[in-house]
């Protein structure tokens, strides 16, 4: 029976894993986390999926407890700017498509065009809230969509696999502050924290990890070891020599440079969305936190040098970036062949990473942790449970890879060498056939990546329509149906959006009122 776990590495991945395992098993499993005070964390994973609310609910943490400590804000969508090369934008919201007579409003939008309003404005409520910089909650703390379960109910411990609706928001937060907050919470739960440097990882005669040797505390032993050492992969790659399978044949971005820029939320307000702005050799993220923004340029080193990327990012931000220190990051894009090897499980960047687009880093951590609990073994090297875990993690990463490839493949621009290369780049297995299907019909449950990866068909439809690659023709059946119900649904979306914009507070106002 697995009764003791040693986690190597802190940061977001390490402390999310430690606190979740203690929240799950309590004193029945000993959890030790060893981290070096001298090894910096990446610390720029500041935007999330809506599924992350289950993590905080599972730990019994209300937003009023953790959000202020992490300078957190709400995220209703991702705003894509200039991905067609013409300065236009569209939103990918946390909101499913409504239907009329069995067809989505996106199908009806194609049928009833041309339009004065963008598809996202016509089909969704959340883009209007984003444009007006609204919070998703009223000042009394109630969610704007009262039919949805609000994440503040501590009595309901759920996982991401129990999310049967599309919850309307996620979060932005300072990843370093979140790790510090969870470290304190972990101490309350009984996690043993060891601040020390790992100097050696030893294996026994079978090849399993037998102990982790630290400089001051000596050897640390456990039944199961969790590698949260980031791109280094100290346990899974360097010690157990598990091969890493690169995604760079289809996703070439391998570098980033990030800045932390102060802002005045009282004067400027606070946008409730992440912005992804396409540039000559990649794209720039803008993430609004309470008191600052996080921004960074993700690029392919084949098309841009670090010096050029930093200069372009500083010019993009403007004078506020003058005193900001740049953090240059080399990204390892891809996944391990296996994330569970012998008695070691890799979680977070040591398992896999698919560049920051669509904010999947924290999602992969949460998915890996939940899958570990679902596959919890009697002994650490159970081959059947390890196989199931590895299949789930690999399929999830591969699915996100395909969704991100769609962003570049469908982007209707070829104005720089970087964007021209996207037309010639290879596709993941099976994606070419799916692209052909989407030329005739919008994506559906039966035509997207078949395994769980966090993205639903509506997300694929958003990207195809927003990037300028709709189906060649509207669905033929709609030409034989009365469009009255669809027109009424579009009108209701607009009325609801106008009502909510008038009723909801601004995000900065809400966070200042409720969280400060």
Closest CA to 444 of 80, 79, 122, 102: 102
Give yes or no: 75 in active site. Answer: yes
Q: How far apart are CA 283 and CA 300, in angstroms?
A: 10
Closest CA to 235 of 3, 6, 392, 388: 6
Cα 327 to the chain's mean position, in Å?
20
Which pairing describes strands 209-214 and 218-220: parallel, antiparallel, or unpaired?
A: antiparallel
Q: How far apart are CA 257 and CA 284, in angstroms?
A: 9
Which pairing describes strands 73-75 and 170-172: parallel, antiparallel, or unpaired?
A: antiparallel
β-bridge mates for residue 352, sequence order? 335
Rg over alpha carbons for the chain, rounded to the nearest Å, is 23
Residue with tokens 């997300």: 459
Q: What angle is formed at CA 346 by the lines to CA 43 and CA 70, rounded to 5 degrees? A: 25
DSSP state, residue 485: H
Most distant CA pair in the chain, distance: 76
Q: What angle is formed at CA 167 by the lines to CA 161 and CA 171, rounded to 5 degrees? A: 100
CA distance to 298, 311, 328, 335, per residue, from 308 (Å): 12, 5, 12, 28
Closest CA to 346 of 372, 376, 385: 372
β-bridge mates for residue 255, sequence order? 299, 330
Residue 413 — φ and ψ, nearest 5°? -150, 145
Catalytic member of 75, 133, 137, 409? 75
Residue with tokens 């068909």: 457
Q: How far apart are CA 261 and CA 242, in angstroms?
A: 39
Name the helix (H) or strand (E) containing 126: helix 126-131
Burial of 480 per CB tally in 10 Å (0-12, 13-18, 19+): exposed
Burial of 34 per CB tally in 10 Å (0-12, 13-18, 19+): buried
Contact status, residue 245 vs residue 323, Cβ threshold 8 Å: no
Active site (catalytic) residues? 75
């Amino acid at each position: 029976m697995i009764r003791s776990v040693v986690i190597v590495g802190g940061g977001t991945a390490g402390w999310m894993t430690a606190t979740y395992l203690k929240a799950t098993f309590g004193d029945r499993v000993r959890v030790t986390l060893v981290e070096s005070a001298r090894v910096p964390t990446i610390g720029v994973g500041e935007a999330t999926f809506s599924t992350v609310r289950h993590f905080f609910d599972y730990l019994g943490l209300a937003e009023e407890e953790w959000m202020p400590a992490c300078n957190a804000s709400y995220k209703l969508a991702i705003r894509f700017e200039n991905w067609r090369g013409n300065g236009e934008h569209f939103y990918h919201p946390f909101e499913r498509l409504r239907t009329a007579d069995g067809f989505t409003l996106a199908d009806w939008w194609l049928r009833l065009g041309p339009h004065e309003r963008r598809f996202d404005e016509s089909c969704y409520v959340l883009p209007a809230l984003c444009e007006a910089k609204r919070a998703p909650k009223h000042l009394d703390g109630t969610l704007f969509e009262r039919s949805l379960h609000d994440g503040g109910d501590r009595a309901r411990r759920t996982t991401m696999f129990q999310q049967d609706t599309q919850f309307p928001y996620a979060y932005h937060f300072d990843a370093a502050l979140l790790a510090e907050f969870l470290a304190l919470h972990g101490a309350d739960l009984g996690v043993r924290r060891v601040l020390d440097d790992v100097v050696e990882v030893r294996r026994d005669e079978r090849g399993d990890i037998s102990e982790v040797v630290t400089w001051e505390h000596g050897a640390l032993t456990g039944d199961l070891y969790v590698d949260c050492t980031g791109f280094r992969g100290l346990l899974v790659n360097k010690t157990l020599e598990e091969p890493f399978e690169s995604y760079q044949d289809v996703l070439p971005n391998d570098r980033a440079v990030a800045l932390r820029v102060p802002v005045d939320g009282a004067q400027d307000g606070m946008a409730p969305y992440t912005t992804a702005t396409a540039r000559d050799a990649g794209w720039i993220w803008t993430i609004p936190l309470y008191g600052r923004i996080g921004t960074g340029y993700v690029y392919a080193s084949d098309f841009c040098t670090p010096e050029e990327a930093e200069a372009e990012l500083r010019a993009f931000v403007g004078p506020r970036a003058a005193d900001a220190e740049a953090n240059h990051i080399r990204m390892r894009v891809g996944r391990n062949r296996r994330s569970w090897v012998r008695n070691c499980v890799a979680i977070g960047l040591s398992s896999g990473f698919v560049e920051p687009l669509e904010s999947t880093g924290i999602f992969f951590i949460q998915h890996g942790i939940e899958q570990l609990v679902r596959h919890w073994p009697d002994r650490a090297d159970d081959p059947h449970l390890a196989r199931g875990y590895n299949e789930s993690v690999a399929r999830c990463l591969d699915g996100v890879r395909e969704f991100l490839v769609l962003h570049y493949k469908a982007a209707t621009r070829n104005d720089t060498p970087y964007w021209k290369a996207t037309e010639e780049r290879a596709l993941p297995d099976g994606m070419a056939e799916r692209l052909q299907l989407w030329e005739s019909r919008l994506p559906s449950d039966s035509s997207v990546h078949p395994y769980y990866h966090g993205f639903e068909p509506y997300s694929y439809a958003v990207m195809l329509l927003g990037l300028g690659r709709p189906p060649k023709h509207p669905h033929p059946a709609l030409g034989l149906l009365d469009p009255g119900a669809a027109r009424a649904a579009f009108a209701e979306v607009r009325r609801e959006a106008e009502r909510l914009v008038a009723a909801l507070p601004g995000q900065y106002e809400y966070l200042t009122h409720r969280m400060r």
